[in-house]
Every structure is written in C-alpha cells, then in structure tokens.
Copies of this chain bind each other. A is one copy, B any other.
Amino acid sequence: MTKLIDVAKAAGVSIATVSRVLNNPETVNADTQQRVQQAIKSLNFRPSRVAQRLRSKGGNSKIIGLVLPDIQNPFYVDVIRGIEEVMYEHGYAAIMCNFAQDEKRERLYLDILKSESIDGLIVAPVHGRDQKVAGLVLSGLPIVCIDRGLTGVEADVVLVDNQQGAYDAVSHLIKLGHRRIAYISGLPQIPTSRARLAGYEMAFRENELVVDEELIKYGDSKHESGMKLTEELLALPTPPTALFTGNNLITLGALETIHRQGLKIPEEIALVGFDDMYWSISLNPPLTAVKQPGFEMGKRAAELLFQRIKDPSRPTAKVVFDAKLQVRSSCGATTIKTS
C-alpha cells in the first residue's frame, strides 16, 4: 500500500501538504497542488480509510452500519437497494448486519458497529423499546430507523402507514363478503405487527363486526410459521374463508400450505398479504397484496441519515409512506357467507 509519505516524497513536499491537497485543495499553491496530484495519480494512491477514521472521528469516515431483521424478506432487500443507491453516490460503504429477528444478535452487531466508528446507522429495531438502539441515539450517533420506530426517544424514522394498509386489505375482504378473516401476525413485539393488527381490528369495528380471537395467530414472521399457522387455521371447526397474512414470508408459507391441501384460491380460501413483490403476479394465483415502497423508503432513509450526519441537531423527521393495496385475483368474493 502506498501511503501519504510516498506521495510526499515523490512530490517533494511534506505529508501535511499532500493531505491538504486531498482535503482542502484551496489552501495549497496551484503548482504544488499539481505536482502532488500528479504523484498521487502516478503512484495510484488512495488514503487508508482506517487511518482516516481513527484520526478524524465523527462524520467523515465514509462508512455506515445497516442493521436489518431479515435479509431473506424481499421487502428489506428493496430497502437495502434503496439505501445502497444513495450510499454509492456519496462514496460510502455499508456494513451489513442481518440479525434474523434475534435481539441477542442485534446487540452483538450494534456493539461491533460501535467499535467500527461508523458515521451513522440505519436500523429496524427488534422492537419499539430497544434499549441498545435508544442508547446509541442518546450517545449522539446519527441514526435513522426504518420500518419501525422507537418509542421514548427522538429519532428519524421512515415507515409505512401499516394500520392504514392493513385496514384497506381487510376492508377489501369484508366488502367481498368475507366475515371469518384470519390474521397471521409476525412477532407480536414488532411494532408493525401491532399496527397491522390495529388496522385489522379497525376494519372490523367500522363494519360493525366482531373479531374472533381464535382467528388471530402469532408467529415469528417467517415462512415456516406461515405454513404452520395456516394449517392450524384450516384445521379449525369452522375455518376462515379468508387470510390476511402479516408479511411477505408468511404469505408464501400460507400459499404453500393451501396448495399442499389442494384448496382453491380464492374460491375456498381468499388471501391478501402484506408486502408485495414484483413477481406477485406470477404466483398462483396472482397475489392481492399491500405494497410498501421499499426502494424509496431505503433511499429516503439514507438521505435522512446524510442530513443528520451533516447537521446532528436538526429536528427529527418522521416520513410516512402510503401502503397501497394491489388488487389481483387471490381474493374473489366468498361463496361461504357466514354473516
């Protein structure tokens, strides 16, 4: 690795001058500058980011942390892509930490990131009262939360109106005549799970229907749990006529169980999922789903993070995107009216 001193020698200046050419070119004489630039180019010099980070901490180490619950969920992949898009433009790199919905793992990653002296952090906290993340916010590290906010501490957050999205989905099912609508939730401690439940309940309330508690199931937001809970629901004495699934992976699990049991969608069981995928149209049947703009959310989060890195004292922002119902064919009118 060529370093500052090599360039300095080649250009016949001190390392301070080389550093200045790199960071404050205007403070150095034009032809010295030229000589240094030349040396830099010919030696193909690139400053060590590690040394940079060690020396000048806070705000120009060009690396951020990314802490997400589940990289297997296409929604978060979209988020990552959005974040990466704007990171790349700024010459930033990201340390990716996938904590798989496991709080212990999240903690470990946060510790690592802390000791990596990152400039900032984008995180979807395990739950709203995540002390570890809250502590980092308080410590002054620029942080923006995505998908889920933090209660009790001020922090930027980018998310979707989950309650509204769920409400729309369930209302749609109700309008189609469904009355026994099950909700397969993700982990109950995740704020989005609760918000979506609230939307579900709101739809029932507004239609003067009562929710049957046995139709609400809690899982762990993964494919397997979607499969298993769907089995349980279908095994009920009076099974639901429609399913509202709490996220992407649950939806796919539910689909698998339904197909394995040879049930017809939507004739025998209707399905609406939270989270759309660009290939939802190719599912069997094309899936009706609530779409979150993951890519845009990621971009927005990254932009907010840069803003905060630049100006740590700016007031916190809460960006709420719309969740839009994409109607396809997985939830036609019910044949088994139960009202």
Please list the residues of chain A having a beta carbon within 8 angstroms of any beta carbon in chain B. 1, 46-51, 53-54, 62-63, 66, 71-72, 74, 77, 80-81, 84, 88, 91, 93-98, 105, 108-109, 111-117, 223, 252, 255-256, 259, 278-279, 281-286
Given contacts A81-B71, A255-B279, whether A49 and B95 have CB atoms under 8 Å apart is no
For A49, the chain B residues whose CB sits under 8 A away are 112, 115-117
Chain B nearest Cβ from A207, distance in angstroms:
30
Given contacts A282-B256, A284-B283, whether A112 and B93 have CB atoms under 8 Å apart is yes
Assess whether B72 is in contact with A81, with CB atoms less than 8 Å apart.
yes
For A50, the chain B residues whose CB sits under 8 A away are 50, 53-54, 115-117
Assess whether A95 is in contact with B98, with CB atoms less than 8 Å apart.
no
Assess whether A91 is in contact with B115, with CB atoms less than 8 Å apart.
no
Assess whether A94 is in contact with B96, with CB atoms less than 8 Å apart.
yes
For A117, the chain B residues whose CB sits under 8 A away are 48-50
Q: Kindly report which residue of chain B lies nearest to residue A52, judged by CB atoms.
A: B115
Assess whether B279 is in contact with A46, with CB atoms less than 8 Å apart.
no
Chain B nearest Cβ from A87, distance in angstroms:
10
- 27 contacts across the A-B interface (CB closer than 8 A): A1-B114, A47-B115, A48-B54, A48-B117, A50-B53, A50-B54, A62-B112, A63-B116, A66-B96, A71-B77, A71-B81, A71-B84, A80-B98, A84-B98, A91-B108, A93-B109, A93-B112, A94-B95, A96-B96, A252-B279, A255-B279, A256-B279, A256-B282, A259-B286, A282-B283, A284-B284, A284-B286
